[in-house]
Structure 1
């Protein structure tokens, strides 16, 4: 799709999705104190050497958030766009991380998830506390004919998703975009409440949790099969820098 020009202009949809990430980001900024990370300053605006693909990647950290990524990229001639808002907490809290990804391919794609930080097969208290509240939403989308569940062909990507992750495609309509906005805000509001109510992780468990978080964050970034799209648009050198920035490899 990204290799051949089309007459599809998704600029208006891009602006709506980017507006949604900014609405969610505003809730983050109202709750947390964040500081830009200088390691990604050169990626605040980047573009392909040929073609019209361009984007922006910004990262932040704070006392409670280890790594926040807020980014977008567009390839106007094909109607492709992709954007992320991912929040990785520090190890004094065991609340799941929070991930949003929205795209047009050229139909609507979205991924929203509470990324687990515990083994849900045995940590039943963690499962009940953080994933049972999402089960109704997950089942509701599964039964909604407007949305088609997207299942990755990549084993690790499926492994990294929770069993209530929302990963779907749909036609781009006012109804589907409105539903996406509603669910995204519900997920953000629920997560912020969890953070406010979270108990502190014991000091002797924090290093192990931080190490686990980094392994997961790096593997998700490096094993994302859609990195090949970035290589096609921006070349391998810039793509490698973008991928490292997603997990904080240049900090």
Structure 2
């Protein structure tokens, strides 16, 4: 999509989207005790050799959140930017993880999803409890002609999305940005309520849940076809470090 679009200065849109992720982070910081993970300290500011593409990746963890990524990359010359706010819970509860991706390619792109932690084909109580509440939003966006569903060509990336995943591209306007902010905050507020009301997972089941979470997190990071954009912007070596940081491959647990 990037190569098919003309160069466009999306600085204002980037700042708007990044500000939105910071609003969401403030709600997280008000609820959770989070600590920066030193394993990604050297990625807080990085850039391509040419200096045109830059980025920042920060990771956090705490007693309730196993791994949180808050990051951005951008190349203003291409009108391209991409930012993540992904929250991976610990195994003490089974509430879905929460993922946000916002981008300009240079058209507006977004992905918001509750990442399942069980088999939704058979765990119907989990499906009804955590996915029915967002189903109307999913259907609303499906019926809105401004929003074009984005369907990945990668099999695993489609498999990793829930059936109420909000994954679209759309024109950038005040209306679409306002709707995006509203839905993003609704997703966060609903999720925080779930966390507060969640029943604890039995101690005997937590190790298996933690292992499953890590497998999903690593596979999503490593199999993302958009990693090729990172290679072209920053080179293979730095991109590999960034991908490992997304799933916590070098994390410090002390």
- Aligned equivalents of 1:235, 1:8: Cα separation in 2: 23
Residue equivalent to 1:248: 248
Residue equivalent to 1:149: 149
User: 1:50 Cα shift?
Assistant: 1.6
| Contact 2:79 2:105 (8 Å CA) reproduced | yes
Residue equivalent to 1:62: 62
Structure 1 residues 5 and 47 mapped into 2: Cα distance closer, same or farther (>3 Å)? farther
| Contact 2:5 2:106 (8 Å CA) reproduced | no
Residue equivalent to 1:114: 114
TM-score normalised to structure 2 length:
0.97
Deviation sequence 1:10-41 (CA, Å, 0-9, x none): 00000000000000000000000000000000
Q: CA RMSD in A?
A: 1.2
Residue equivalent to 1:85: 85
Q: How does 1:38-53 map to 2 (within 5 A)?
A: 38-53=38-53
Give every structure 1 segment of 4 or more consecutive aligned residues whose post-TM-superposition deviation is greater than 6 Å. Answer: none
The DSSP-based 3-state class of the residue aligned with 1:77 is helix
TM-score normalised to structure 1 length:
0.98
- Aligned equivalents of 2:2, 2:96: Cα separation in 1: 33
Structure 1 residues 5 and 120 mapped into 2: Cα distance closer, same or farther (>3 Å)? closer
Structure 1 residues 75 and 128 mapped into 2: Cα distance closer, same or farther (>3 Å)? same
| Contact 1:150 1:169 (8 Å CA) reproduced | yes
Residue equivalent to 2:133: 133
Q: How does 1:168-207 map to 2 (within 5 A)?
A: 168-207=168-207
Give unmatched runs, 5+ long, in structure 1.
none
User: 1:6 Cα shift?
Assistant: 4.9
Residue equivalent to 1:100: 100
- Aligned equivalents of 2:124, 2:237: Cα separation in 1: 43
Residue equivalent to 2:233: 233
